[in-house]
């Protein structure tokens, strides 16, 4: 088999007017070369120099090429700042997909890094990226939720990032498989390099609408950790679903660049999305932290207390 190819090498000669038409249009544009190319390994170069391997049958892989391995710049910048904010003992990426949130940042050398990804269509790529990068990331082939069980998982056959335990997360064709579920509490108890009571823990949760179940499954970790901070996708949650979040955590929103943070301090009854609109905030992801850790975030990120 020939050498592996970056998506840049594959797509450079292609008519990019077909970009938004999806994978089938790209295959037609590539013409006779398609069958040979699909047999090879494709990758995108991350900002840290790592090869992020991708599944060419996934439209999200095409978008990763277009974005230089960064599909969501505000979210990545938020995450990059959180990773740099403390000397983390445990970092958990829930819904890692191809791993771009891990391999586009400088991970702390002393941290135990865990990546959860149950989707078999991207898992092999993630495992290969981890293996070739030399970064000691622990891949976990489970979906995070509020309990340890077996559950139906819907694979989005067009855009892997919309795959979810939650029905209705995508309008595109899906394939249902059974996956093992676990909790962040369970993972933290077994994988944290230090006792949870002494640990600084950073968690990223991006699971297409099942975020609240994941939060239920990290209650013990969030309560006991020496320092706990999370980054949570909220774009698929309703205002009603977000209301209890404020009762448990301080919630912070960033600006459109993901660099300037503001704590959600509106009166009760004012929704997070209204607050985001009123203050020009990016509203797809939020940072959550305990009130007790407010001073730490204020110092590290310049967030007003």
Domain boundaries, the chain: 5-66, 73-301
- Please tell me the predicted confidence (pLDDT) of residue 20: 47
Kindly report whether the global pTM for this prediction surpasses the value 0.85.
Answer: yes
- Please tell me the predicted confidence (pLDDT) of residue 98: 97
Rg of the chain, C-alpha, whole Å: 19
- Please tell me the predicted confidence (pLDDT) of residue 68: 87
Per-residue pLDDT of the chain in tens (305 residues, 90 and over written 9): 455 555 555 554 444 444 444 555 555 545 444 544 554 578 999 999 999 999 988 999 989 988 889 999 999 999 999 999 999 999 999 999 999 999 999 999 999 999 999 999 999 999 999 999 999 999 999 999 999 999 999 999 999 999 999 887 676 778 999 999 999 999 999 999 999 999 999 999 999 889 999 999 999 999 999 999 999 999 888 888 888 888 899 999 999 888 889 999 888 778 888 888 888 888 899 999 999 999 888 888 887 65
Rounded to an integer, what distance in angstroms lies between the CA atom of residue 53 and that of residue 43? 4
Instruction: Look at residue 103 and give its three-state secondary structure.
Output: helix
Query: What is the Cβ-side half-sphere exposure of residue 138, based on CA atoms within 13 angstroms?
Result: 15
CA-angle at 195, arms to 189 and 200, nearest 5°: 95
Q: What Cα–Cα distance (Å) separates residue 199 from each residue in 222, 227, 271?
A: 10, 7, 32
User: Which CATH class, in words, describes the domain spanning 73-301?
Assistant: alpha beta
- Please tell me the predicted confidence (pLDDT) of residue 39: 43
Q: Give buried/exposed letters for 25-56 (b at 16+ CB in 10 A, else e).
A: bbbebbeeeeeeeeeebbbbbbeeebbbbbbb
């Amino acid at each position: 088999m020939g050498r592996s190819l970056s998506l840049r090498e594959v797509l450079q000669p292609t008519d990019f007017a077909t970009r938004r038409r999806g994978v089938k249009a790209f295959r037609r544009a590539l013409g006779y070369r398609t069958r040979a190319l699909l047999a090879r390994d494709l990758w995108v170069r991350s900002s840290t120099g790592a090869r992020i391997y991708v599944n060419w049958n996934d439209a999200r892989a095409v978008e990763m090429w277009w974005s230089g391995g960064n599909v969501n710049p505000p979210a990545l910048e938020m995450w990059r700042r959180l990773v740099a904010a403390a000397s983390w003992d445990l970092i958990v990426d829930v819904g890692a997909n191809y791993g771009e949130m891990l391999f586009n940042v400088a991970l702390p050398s002393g941290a135990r890094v865990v990546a959860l990804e149950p989707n078999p269509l991207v898992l092999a790529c993630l495992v290969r990226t981890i293996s070739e990068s030399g970064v000691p990331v622990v891949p976990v082939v489970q979906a995070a939720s509020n309990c340890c069980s077996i559950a139906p998982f819907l694979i989005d056959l067009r855009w892997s990032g919309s795959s979810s335990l939650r029905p209705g997360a995508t309008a595109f064709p899906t394939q249902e498989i059974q996956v093992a579920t676990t909790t962040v509490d369970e993972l933290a108890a077994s994988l944290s390099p230090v006792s949870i009571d002494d640990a600084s823990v950073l968690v990223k949760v991006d699971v297409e609408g099942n975020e609240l179940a994941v939060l239920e499954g990290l209650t013990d970790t969030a309560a006991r950790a020496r320092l706990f901070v999370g980054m949570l996708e909220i774009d698929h949650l309703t205002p009603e679903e977000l209301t209890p979040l404020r009762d448990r955590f301080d919630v912070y929103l960033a600006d459109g660049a993901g660099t300037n943070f503001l704590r959600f301090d509106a009166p009760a009854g004012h929704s997070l999305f209204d607050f985001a609109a009123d203050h020009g905030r990016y509203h797809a992801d939020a940072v959550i932290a305990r009130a007790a850790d407010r001073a730490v975030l204020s110092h590290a990120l310049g967030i007003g207390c």
